[in-house]
Copies of this chain bind each other. A is one copy, B any other.
Amino acid sequence: MRNFNENTITDAVLDRIKNTSDPRLKQIFNSLVRHMHDFVRDVRLTDAEWAFAIDFLTRTGQKCDGNRQEFILLSDTLGVSMLVDAINHGSGGSTETTVLGPFYVQNPPEYPLGADIHGGMKGEPLYAEGRVLSLDGKPVANAIVDVWHSDQEGYYDVQQIDKVGGLSGRARFRTDKDGKYRFWSIKPAAYPIPYDGPVGEMLTVQKRHPWRPAHVHFMIEAPGFEKLATHVFVDGDQYLDSDAVFGVKDTLIGSFVKHDAGSGPDGRAIDTSYWTMTYVFTLAPAPS
């Protein structure tokens, strides 16, 4: 096997990987090689463009650290994340899914239902409540509900951990026997995805804005059910139709209601105006 030209090189690579023992991996590599080579042939990629791509991917990897995942941002902004999401999560009546995003933290601090989780973050108070149900409408008790969201300026705790003094606007709850969850925090704001790295360079040449409409992330898990990763978006946000990562679905837009200062839904006294949001999640059964 020598002397490959632009047409024979693809079969040469496919032949070389034919002994991949895992059949699923073999299928993935075969398709990846075919599509990647087709792309290079399609655009007649030059040496200089190849070198730029190598450098771009290298810098994307090197921009990643414990609080930043630039390859997820790249996947999100090229629509790959939502495509994978769409392939793997049909609705079938359960709550729709959307991107996980790069700001999830494993095993967030657990709080009792009703706790205020805003920590060191600033913003207008928000009382969020709702239920977790099965497809047939029965409450899912003791479900793990992970919540995370931005502050009023659109920053997550992990982007400003010294300023907010630790994890904030981020918690784990467990639903009660009626499948209910409830907590106090602050109303999140729209925000630009981090654009001081390679993905920002890409958005700039593509003349795209980096903004995402305001939302609260939820990840819900319970035995016997498929794990749900989704958002509840703030209705009326100016970026609902141009989310930089293509994540908005109408069914995920929550109703955020403003209230005057007074007594909150749980009886707490509040001396400023505040918001409430209610959302009911429906879990799909775990794949058999």
Contact across chains for B47 and A88 when beta carbons are under 8 A apart:
yes
Stretch at the interface among A130-138, A187-195, A245-253: A245-253
CB distance from A74 to the nearest CB of B (A): 9
Q: Please, how many angstroms separate the alpha-carbon atoms of A37 and B82 in the complex?
A: 10
Do B71 and A57 touch (CB < 8 A)?
A: yes
Segment from A13-21, A256-264, A268-276 that makes contact with B: A13-21
Total copies of this chain within the assembly: 2
Contacts of A242 in B (CB 8 A): 1, 16
Q: Mark A1-25, 1 if CB is under 8 A from B, else 0.
A: 1111110011011001101111001
- Which residues of the partner chain B approach A255 to less than 8 Å between Cβ atoms? none
Q: Which of the residues B2, B46, B50, B69 comes within 8 Å of A249, measured between beta carbons?
A: B2
- Assembly CA distance A4 to B248 (angstroms): 8
**Complex: how many Å from CA A278 to CA B25?**
44
Q: Is A153 an interface residue (CB 8 A)?
A: no
Indicate if A115 sits at the interface (CB-CB under 8 A): no
Question: Which residues of A approach B to under 8 Å, CB–CB?
Answer: 1-6, 9-10, 12-13, 16-17, 19-22, 25, 27-29, 31-33, 35-47, 49-50, 54, 57-62, 64, 69, 71-72, 75, 78-88, 205-208, 240-243, 246, 248-250
